């Protein structure tokens, strides 16, 4: 593998970069040794290892402990939501993984003369965010080991304590089940940009969730990389929607984990003829409709020096209202609606807010609603996702056809459906890519297919060669030979 002198943006020869390279090389070597000892040719043993990782966080006392630790460690989100995230995402991912073949012969198609073998991609470097310092490391580790690989976790500095404990639990379960503990390792502390860059430089596959700076550096490292884009979900409420159902789902999604999820609704676009009725439904669901003066107070406090104010992001409604100077009545509600007449740019209510602020736009008609959605995504979140509450299937199809996103959810609570659900077909994950629209190589939910290489055994079959007339005939008819 190439050294930092030819990969990444860390200056070769610097003490920090050299030290990081040496430390990471030792960890990668242990990961390769663990892969050599891993029964990764045996699907049943691989599945056994995946179950071990899942149980390490799904176990009730562990799910609760890690949720409490994550909130204490990062100051972000809420314990109850993180318990749900630790268990629901893990359970759903385990379901998906156990239904898939990933090692040895995974497909035989005699009619096409084809046999496929699944093989490991190698050592995986998994860069994880502070918003999910327990659930994301386990999620990525499960997928990596499902492909027969080893994984090295790079935590966010803000969630490093939680991630360290999470990795310890995963290693304990692997040992108990007779698998090499070094299949899952943690980057040494203290966490630094140099250390993370060295990891991305030396592994066989880098998978990055969180900081867009890390995503860009991974793409530039020279290592094969999968990164995910920023979320900033706008959702339409159209004239045919069940307004109370839509409002309840939007509320449940918006307030989950105090809006830390990249799939949380950041804006809603309501058609004019149901605007006031929709606002009333959202108020019944727990929303507070900010006055013009309150909206300006929120605007001036939410961003400080061109950055989101850490005193309000991912905080409970009562804390948010207190910092914003809102009334006691407002503080008793679950989320806060700010109405905007036009889509602004960065650091406006059109941008990602990571807080209980929900921007509301009024659309003249459905065409205007689609245009507003596209404008919001052009500010932040292009490629990621959008949604619609409607009973008009054609409207949902139009939105999907005309919007550059990887996912369009229909009549769903976005946070609970975007990363996979038991009532939709999306793979369970905590990492959602947005294709080239978001500067990503993947246009899907991160899943096990990202962690395997394929060998194709190809045998001859009866010749399948059409005539020239079959292929060129329509063209000749229109334009001649």
CA 212/CA 201 separation, integer angstroms: 17
Annotated catalytic residue 262: yes
Which of the residues 128, 251, 262, 290 is marked catalytic? 262
Question: Within 10 Å of residue 468's Cβ, how many Cβ atoms?
Answer: 8
Residue in 125, 370, 96, 116 with CA at minimum distance from that of residue 227: 125
User: What is the token pair recorded at 128?
Assistant: 């994880």
Residue in 151, 239, 204, 187 with CA at minimum distance from that of residue 2: 204
Residue 55's Cβ-side half-sphere holds a number of Cα atoms within 13 Å equal to 13
CA 131/CA 75 separation, integer angstroms: 9
> What is the pairing mode between strands 357-363 and 265-271?
parallel
Question: Within 10 Å of residue 124's Cβ, how many Cβ atoms?
Answer: 26
- Sheet containing 452-458: which strands, arranged edge to edge? 104-109, 114-120, 452-458
Q: Give all strands (DSSP E) within 20-168, no chain letters.
A: 104-109, 114-120, 123-127, 150-154
- Sheet containing 224-227: which strands, arranged edge to edge? 184-186, 150-154, 123-127, 205-208, 224-227
User: What is the token pair recorded at 414?
Assistant: 């976005």
User: What is the token pair recorded at 139?
Assistant: 């999620």
Residue 151 near residue 144 (C-beta atoms within 8 A): yes
Helix H or strand E segment including 475: helix 468-479
Helix/strand/coil percent split, the chain, to 5: 50, 20, 35
Q: At what angle do helices 90-98 and 43-58 cross, to 10 degrees?
A: 170
DSSP secondary structure letter of residue 445:
B
**What residues are labeled active site?**
262
């Amino acid at each position: 593998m190439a050294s930092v002198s030819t990969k990444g943006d860390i200056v070769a020869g610097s003490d920090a970069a050299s030290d990081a390279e040496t430390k990471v090389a030792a960890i990668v070597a242990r990961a390769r040794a663990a892969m050599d000892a891993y029964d990764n040719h045996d699907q049943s043993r691989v599945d056994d290892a995946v179950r071990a990782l899942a149980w390490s966080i799904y176990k009730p006392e562990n799910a609760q402990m890690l949720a409490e630790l994550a909130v204490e460690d990062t100051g972000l989100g809420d314990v109850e939501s993180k318990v749900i995230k630790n268990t629901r995402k893990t359970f759903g991912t385990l379901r998906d993984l156990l239904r898939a073949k990933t090692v040895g012969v995974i497909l035989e198609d005699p009619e096409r003369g084809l046999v496929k073998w699944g093989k490991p991609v190698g050592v995986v470097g998994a860069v994880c965010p502070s918003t999910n310092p327990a659930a994301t490391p386990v999620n990525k580790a499960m997928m990596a080991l499902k492909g027969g690989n080893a994984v090295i976790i790079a935590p966010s500095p803000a969630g490093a304590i939680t991630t360290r404990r999470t990795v310890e639990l995963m290693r304990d379960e692997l040992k108990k089940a007779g698998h090499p503990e070094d299949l899952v390792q943690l980057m040494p502390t203290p966490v630094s940009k140099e250390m993370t860059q060295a990891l991305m430089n030396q592994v066989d596959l880098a998978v990055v969730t969180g900081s867009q700076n890390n995503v860009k550096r991974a793409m530039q490292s020279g290592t094969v990389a999968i990164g995910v884009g920023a979320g900033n979900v706008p959702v339409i409420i159209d004239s045919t929607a069940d307004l109370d159902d839509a409002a309840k789902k939007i509320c449940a999604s918006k307030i989950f984990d105090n809006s830390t999820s990249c799939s949380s609704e950041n804006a809603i676009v309501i058609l004019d003829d149901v605007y006031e009725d929709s606002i009333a439904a959202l108020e019944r669901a727990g929303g507070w409709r900010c006055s013009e003066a309150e909206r300006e107070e929120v605007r001036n406090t939410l961003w400080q020096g061109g950055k989101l104010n850490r005193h309000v992001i991912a905080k409970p409604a009562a804390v948010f209202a207190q910092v914003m100077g809102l009334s006691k009545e407002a503080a008793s509600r679950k989320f806060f609606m700010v109405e905007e007449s036009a889509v602004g740019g960065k650091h406006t209510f059109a941008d990602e807010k990571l807080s209980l602020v929900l921007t509301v736009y009024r659309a003249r008609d459905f065409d205007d609603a689609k245009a507003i959605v596209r404008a919001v995504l052009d500010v932040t979140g292009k490629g990621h996702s959008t949604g619609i509450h409607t009973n008009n299937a054609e409207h949902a199809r139009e939105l999907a056809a005309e919007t550059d996103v990887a996912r369009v959810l229909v009549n769903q609570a976005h946070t609970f459906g975007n990363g996979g659900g038991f009532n939709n077909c999306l793979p369970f994950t905590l990492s959602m890519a947005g294709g080239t629209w978001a500067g990503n190589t993947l246009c899907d939910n991160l899943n096990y297919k990202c962690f395997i290489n394929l060998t194709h055994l190809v045998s001859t079959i009866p010749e399948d060669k059409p005539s020239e007339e079959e292929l060129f005939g329509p063209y000749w008819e229109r334009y001649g030979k």
